[in-house]
Structure 1
Amino acid sequence: MDASTTASASALRGAHERFVTAPEAAQGVRSLVAESWRRCAATGVRPDGGRLPPLPRSSAELVAYRRTHPLAAVLPLFRELLGADVADDGHVFAVGDADGTLLWVEGDSAAVRRAERMHFAEGAVWSEEQAGTNAPGTALELGRPVQIVAGEHYSSAVHAWSCAAALIREPGTGRVLGVVDLSGGGTIATPPALAAVRAAALAAEGELARALPGPVTLLGRDGRSLCASADGRDGVVRLSALGRDSAVLEYGGRVHRLSPRHSELVVALALEGRGVAGDRLAVDLSEREVPASTLRAEMTRLRAVLGPALLGSRPYALLHPVRTDFAEVAGLLAEGRVGEALARYPGPLLPRSDAPVVVEQRRALEQQLRGAVLGGGDAGLLRRWVDTARGAHDAAAWLALAHRLPGGSAQRAAAAARAHALDAAVAVPPQVGRHAAVLQRSRS
């Protein structure tokens, strides 16, 4: 390291120390770095290097995720362009996804070991929010190539490193697929390093475009896919979530039986339609605050199940048209086809879920269906409604049924009696009746 580089590194350390002491004064650094430091301070990133990005819990999940990721196809190209001279240069190159999860980290073996000590390793999340100012995370934050030198990193654990990163975008759509990064010593703190990763990213995008018969995904105005899948299927996702706690998702000839939490996530994404930011999705899923890191981990696990071609990031979205059983029922009701809607309604939407977005949709759909059945006054539909778990305790539905049945019939009498019993149970709860009996006895 020459004298000018040493002086520059010392100046950056001084600027970092001043910012940590007085965050309102970000002086002596580029505006890009100052703005990043402010974001890091606002989200609670540790500037002293005391909290490193978490390492993955399951290597099997990472292996499965990488196998289906679009960037796996261009990994040999990155090795050729960025990894050929690593033994002489002492650097590493990394390829990450759109959330900042490092999928591959390769290079000089000694440099890889040093990088692992600061958790710059496969499976770790190097977004700005997790790792502070760094080239791959800040490039994803800003949507453009970024170079971060030594003390410009927000975490002091990374001050010995410099890095340069560029985004890889999906041909034809511009959707961010991930990021490619070079990290190392002084040779990475130079314009040629940034030019190298930009050239590698462009070469990867060209390779993706040549390898496919067309764009990976053609998007309509609503952000949904308009193309058929590569295997000739219709490219439509089918989601069934009525009357079950674990949704079933069918796509490309495969059937996924989702966990209850993944069911909530997929239903929320289907309802949002155009894609949703992480903070909004967290509110959809819980009345309690959901940490961003927890949500990202859940989405990473879901992406390992569904594959990155189906589940997108920034914003989170299902990348193909989605047909859901709950939207189908709502559509039939909107067309006045109440009988068909009732026939295709096996029960409430994810009945045990307490995710706010699910609860709201569940109530709205059931209210629409109930209102249509009661408002239509069709005895057959009323009978089918009261035969459901929800309708069995619906006093108004039993009363409406009684009014539609022939006068003097046993069925009419039974329906009226059921309505009266349900009304009485609601009007006078059992504990109130017992209390009234005690008072009566005390007065006699």
Structure 2
Amino acid sequence: MSYADLAAYSRLLRGAHETAVTGDACPDGPRRLIGASWRRSLDAGIDPATGAAPLAFSAAGLADARASHPLRPLVPLFVETLGRMAGEAAHIVVITDREGRVLWREGDRGTMRRADRVGLADGHAWAEDRMGTNGIGTALAMLRPVHVYSEEHLVHVLHVWSCSAAPIVDPDSGEVLGCLDVSGTASSLHPATVALVGATARLAEAQLTLRMHEHDEQLRRRYESLRSRPGILLSPTGRVLAGDPGGIAGERVPLPAPGGRMLLRDGRVAVLEPFADGYLLRSAPSAAPPTLRLALLGDGPPAAVLGERRLPLSLRHAEILALLALHPRGLSAEQLSFHLYGDDGNPVTIRAEIHRLRTQLRGTIGAKPYRLTSPLEADFLQVRRLLAAGEPASLARAYPGPLLPRSESPEIRRERDELEVQVRTCLLLRGSPDDLWTYAQTSSGRADVQVLERIAASLPSTDHRAAAAQARLFAG
């Protein structure tokens, strides 16, 4: 806490809370982490007068979620480590999934009855966009241990509560599995509890790592028992376990559907086959992998063509593919995040987008670092080649407009501006009136005074293109 006197901090928070809810500026407010969480929660439409967290699971749905969740074997560890302390201090221990939905709860019975009234109970959702600033939701949003004290909660009914929470990350996939939380009344839960909760979350991750290694070893033994080993052994999540001494596949491969093909680093095509509860990646008969074609120039919606499939792209997916095309050696999640968002980027967001993109474009994006693994054709890279070759006629036909004109990515804006300047300069210096007229149909060239003047001066006055250029100049 920034204030030794919690009563004074509570008074400050009450004033800051009122101004945050009304949208007014506050000269002094909560610590930065909480202020940012308030803004996210309000932007998500959270009403501070909300009475309780919403129910996310039916009884049957909760039972299914518990049975299949990777943290289920670790519940006894959480209860043993934190349960006795929680019971003696009148606290409760809560375990959620990655969406902040409560799967298990243990602790003081009286406190659990109070928690029932605000939905801090099995099956209820505590993500920030469901219940505002709180230990569970904010720890999941920030991917770090968090203590939320009393009036730091956005929702009024939670002001009598404090909570310490920490996310739990899967050591295999790197994805968040869920959140561990200890909650109690504001006066009884010391802020230092967050250190204990964080240490318990790390202990859980260590247990998951041990289980992962034990499972890996079992898979390796089965693999080594084969008379011949014509393939690379993969874990269920695509980690390379054996059969790849040259490192051709890297540390992890994106998993196509069983029977699906992928391109290895040495240019060989491989096919995925189930093996025990993992996979074997075997060399496939020689066949050219499908070419990935990107159409990212101009005002039309961006699209990708993979083989015979044409796939519309969201702006974010188009930006990621453009950056990977510009960096053929690959980019980490942190580098992609910086190129897309600058210093405000979050690598976790990028990993989620890459996961969706790899599902859509199976076998085209490698990992660690993220990179394109299929043969690539991109309209903006073709424009680069035509600029280098000095072919204005082909250049004019190949350039329908700027690269992803709606993108605010710093890296793509630089590439877009550089391409635009080079195309315009090349056509003004070396292009024919036909080439200039083609460029004048793009969003950039339509009102370009110098281009229009050159067209009007170069073509006979009877030519409709000269008349159109004059009309645009007059209108401008």
| C-alpha deviation, 1:245, in angstroms | 5.4
Q: How does 1:35-50 map to 2 (within 5 A)?
A: none
From 137, 149, 158, give the equivalent of 2:171: 137
Amino acid at match of 1:311: I
2:436 equivalent in structure 1: 382
1:322 equivalent in structure 2: 376
Alignment partner of 1:352: what SS? coil
Q: Does 1:310 find its partner at 2:364?
A: yes
Q: 1:166-191: per-residue Cα shift (whole Å, max 9, x none)?
A: xxxxxxxxxxxxxxx517xxxxxxxx
1:227 equivalent in structure 2: 268
From 284, 292, 296, give the equivalent of 2:351: 296
Cα distance between partner residues in 1 of 2:412 and 2:438? 25
**TM-score calculated relative to the size of structure 2:** 0.47
What is the alpha-carbon root mean square deviation over aligned residues? 5.1
Q: Is the 8 A contact 2:167 2:201 kept in 1?
A: no
| C-alpha deviation, 1:275, in angstroms | 0.8
Cα distance between partner residues in 1 of 2:390 and 2:376? 23
Q: 1:346-374: per-residue Cα shift (whole Å, max 9, x none)?
A: 22222222222222222222222211111
Q: Does 1:277 find its partner at 2:332?
A: yes
Q: Is the 8 A contact 2:168 2:205 kept in 1?
A: no
Amino acid at match of 2:446: A
2:452 equivalent in structure 1: 398
Alignment partner of 2:403: what SS? coil
Distance 1:414 1:133, change over 3 A: closer
Distance 1:275 1:381, change over 3 A: same
Distance 1:155 1:399, change over 3 A: same
Alignment partner of 1:323: what SS? strand
Cα distance between partner residues in 2 of 1:398 and 1:320? 41
Cα distance between partner residues in 1 of 2:206 and 2:431? 73
Q: Does 1:368 find its partner at 2:422?
A: yes
Cα distance between partner residues in 1 of 2:205 and 2:268? 43
1:210 equivalent in structure 2: 230
From 186, 208, 211, give the equivalent of 1:182: 211
Distance 1:108 1:415, change over 3 A: closer
Amino acid at match of 2:211: L
Gaps of 5+ in 2: 1-32, 34-55, 57-67, 81-92, 102-138, 146-165, 176-194, 234-242, 251-263, 271-283
Distance 1:200 1:238, change over 3 A: farther
Q: Is the 8 A contact 1:240 1:324 kept in 2?
A: yes
| C-alpha deviation, 1:163, in angstroms | 2.0
Gaps of 5+ in 1: 1-43, 45-57, 59-102, 142-150, 166-180, 184-193, 426-444
Cα distance between partner residues in 1 of 2:223 and 2:174? 16
Cα distance between partner residues in 1 of 2:445 and 2:304? 28
Cα distance between partner residues in 1 of 2:401 and 2:438? 13
Amino acid at match of 1:155: A
Q: Is the 8 A contact 1:247 1:257 kept in 2?
A: yes
Distance 1:301 1:420, change over 3 A: closer
1:5 equivalent in structure 2: none
**TM-score calculated relative to the size of structure 1:** 0.50
Cα distance between partner residues in 2 of 1:123 and 1:273? 37
Cα distance between partner residues in 1 of 2:467 and 2:302? 37
Q: Does 1:236 find its partner at 2:291?
A: yes
Cα distance between partner residues in 1 of 2:375 and 2:465? 46
Cα distance between partner residues in 2 of 1:161 and 1:389? 53
Q: Is the 8 A contact 2:302 2:313 kept in 1?
A: yes
Give aligned-pair identity as a percent: 27
Alignment size in residue pairs: 286
Alignment partner of 2:438: what SS? helix
Q: Does 1:199 find its partner at 2:217?
A: yes
Amino acid at match of 1:263: A
Cα distance between partner residues in 2 of 1:296 and 1:418? 50
Q: 1:285-340: per-residue Cα shift (whole Å, max 9, x none)?
A: 12460223222222222233223x32233222222232111101221221122212
Cα distance between partner residues in 2 of 1:202 and 1:130? 34
Amino acid at match of 1:315: P
